Amino acid sequence: MAFKVRMPRVDANVEEGAIGRWLIACGEPVRAGHPLVEIITDKASFELEADEEGILRRQVAAEKSVVPVGYIIAVIGKDSDEALPDVDGENEALLTAYRQAVISGLGSGAAELPPSQREPGRAAISAGAAEGVVATPAARRLASQAGLSIEEISHRLRGLVRRQDVENELRRRKGDSVQ
């Protein structure tokens, strides 16, 4: 029977996480207790270990994507011929509920959401995968609130953008405008 790997809740206040990079490729064997994928949250970056042994049959969440807690990010099968469960419907229902909660939390400020979170029917909440940007959710929120381009910040850093990087950029720009 196939095993569903879900985005874990690493802290009571963490509602989403980013897929940093996959450490096991599809079709490769997975051993229980061994690192499967790098997860990035506002509070931590860590390697999620597999709970089950088998073969990584499907990476549901792409690298650089941000998904809510509980989202099925991968499927591990016992063998390569095993039928896989349909996880897309379950994930889409979770995303719909998550987006609604985010919109409700903003009240009438739904326009403040990034377009990827306002558009219905997206398979995942983008973390800039199309632009090649990896950033923590806190960094994206702060950049959006401040009117900064997360892509521009990422281009300068050439790596993961964290909240501190956005704060540094804000200080840098404030210093440039004073001179």
Give the helix, strand, coil percentages of the chain, each rounded to 5: 35, 25, 40
Instruction: Of 9, 38, 173, 177, give the one whose Cα is nearest residue 98.
Output: 9
Predicted local distance difference test score (pLDDT) of residue 105: 64
115 in any annotated domain: no
61 in any annotated domain: yes
Q: How many CA atoms lie within 13 A of 106 on its CB side?
A: 16
Domain count within the chain: 2
Model confidence at 179, pLDDT cuts 50, 70, 90, reads: low
Greater pLDDT, 120 or 147: 147
pLDDT tens column, 36-94: 999 988 777 899 999 999 999 999 999 988 899 999 999 999 988 889 999 999 999 99
- 58: domain CATH number is 2.40.50.100
Residues spanned by the domain of 154: 133-179
63 in any annotated domain: yes
97 in any annotated domain: no
Predicted local distance difference test score (pLDDT) of residue 132: 58
85 in any annotated domain: no
pTM of the model: 0.62
Predicted local distance difference test score (pLDDT) of residue 130: 35
The total number of residues shown for the chain amounts to 179
171 in any annotated domain: yes
Q: Alpha-carbon dihedral of residues 19, 25, 29, 34, nearest 10 degrees?
A: -30
112 in any annotated domain: no
